[in-house]
């Protein structure tokens, strides 16, 4: 099994984040710049990235062969939601909302494809694409409720349904199920903007970290989250898949993709909705760094 793709992707994320940190320390990315980058990610690059992820070939035969991974992914998302409500009893307010969102949303959307392909080849890459459909849908529906506060359920529902990322999921599902082909210039534009999302997001996280005392990045709160994200959740998923008798490749995809670090968009959302953005940036940074050890370790179960 070749883990070079995974390690390279993790290294790229960290280097871009360090660049954002340097630019933030220099003042090149100031508070106004962070706000601009936040709006750019939420309203442009992230929606394009979501639509881009749905531009895959998908027919009835593939649907039948991927039904187990799709259902398993849905169960895992509900598991994450349940855990997010019971694992943080001592936390209140903005920090708890950050932890809850980061529990149901991993960085599998960025790191998932390289690790799946490195571990299981082309078949693993296809399964990873299917696995990510429920996660993307959950993170921009249920996940958004952790940050969006409205006076009524109707107003909250309106905010969710009109969110750029939710609209992107809806468009993506239509394109996926109907297998519609976008005009070449539109498709190329969406893919180009979507490809920029990772770099812009990690620059923003680095800029947010510039205002944080890095000596406090490692503390009992960040370490506790890292244990939950990188060890506890994939461990529960591994046992559940084995008890359910799922085939090895399905188990492997589910475990490896749940063992990914906190979604980089966690810090973006925290900044957008005025939650604890510095703490969000710290857990994204620390979990990404430590996943360079834990992710390959989980891979060894399936060699």
d(CA 176, CA 179): 5
CATH number of the CATH domain containing 176: 1.20.1530.20
Contact 270, 90 (CB under 8 A): no
Q: What is the pLDDT of residues 199-250, one digit of tens each?
A: 888 888 888 778 777 677 888 999 999 999 999 999 999 999 999 888 888 8
- In the chain, what are the helix, strand and coil shares in percent, each to the nearest 5? 80, 0, 20
pLDDT at 142: 74
pLDDT at 206: 83
Q: Into how many domains does the chain fold? A: 1
Range of the domain at 289: 4-302
Residues of the chain predicted below pLDDT 70:
1-6, 58-65, 110-114, 117-118, 121-123, 125, 148-153, 155-157, 159-160, 214, 303
Eight-class DSSP state of 58: -
pLDDT at 6: 63
pLDDT at 223: 94
Eight-class DSSP state of 179: T
Among residues 106, 113, 115, the alpha carbon closest in space to that of 136 is found at 106
pLDDT at 192: 93
Q: What is the pLDDT of residues 186-203, one digit of tens each?
A: 999 998 998 888 788 888
Q: How many residues does the chain have?
A: 303
Q: Provide the sign of the torsion angle of the four alpha carbons 167, 168, 171, 174, taken in this order.
A: negative
């Amino acid at each position: 099994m070749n883990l070079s793709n995974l390690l390279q992707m993790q290294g790229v994320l960290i280097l871009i984040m360090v660049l954002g940190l340097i630019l933030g320390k220099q003042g090149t990315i100031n508070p106004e710049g962070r706000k601009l980058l936040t709006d750019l990610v939420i309203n442009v690059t992230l929606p394009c990235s979501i639509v881009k992820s749905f531009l895959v070939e998908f027919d009835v035969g593939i649907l039948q062969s991927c039904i187990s991974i799709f259902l398993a992914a849905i169960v895992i998302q509900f598991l994450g939601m349940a855990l997010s409500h019971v694992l943080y009893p001592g936390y209140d307010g903005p920090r708890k909302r950050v932890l809850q969102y980061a529990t149901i949303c991993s960085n599998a959307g960025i790191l998932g494809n390289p690790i799946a392909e490195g571990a299981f080849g082309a078949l693993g890459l296809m399964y990873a694409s299917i696995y990510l459909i429920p996660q993307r849908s959950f993170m921009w529906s249920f996940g958004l409720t952790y940050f969006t506060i409205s006076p009524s359920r109707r107003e909250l529902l309106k905010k969710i349904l009109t969110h750029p990322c939710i609209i992107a999921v809806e468009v993506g599902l239509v394109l996926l199920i109907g297998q519609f082909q976008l005009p070449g210039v539109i498709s190329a534009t969406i893919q180009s903007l979507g490809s920029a999302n990772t770099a812009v997001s990690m620059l923003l996280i680095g800029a947010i970290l510039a205002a944080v005392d890095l000596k406090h990045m490692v503390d009992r709160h960040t370490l506790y989250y890292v244990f939950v994200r990188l060890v506890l959740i994939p461990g529960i998923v591994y046992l559940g898949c084995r008890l359910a008798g799922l085939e090895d490749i399905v188990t492997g995809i589910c475990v490896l993709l749940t063992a990914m670090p906190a979604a980089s968009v966690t810090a973006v959302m925290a900044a957008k909705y005025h939650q604890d953005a510095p703490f969000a940036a710290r857990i994204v940074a620390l979990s990404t760094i430590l996943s360079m050890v834990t992710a390959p370790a989980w891979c060894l179960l399936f060699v």
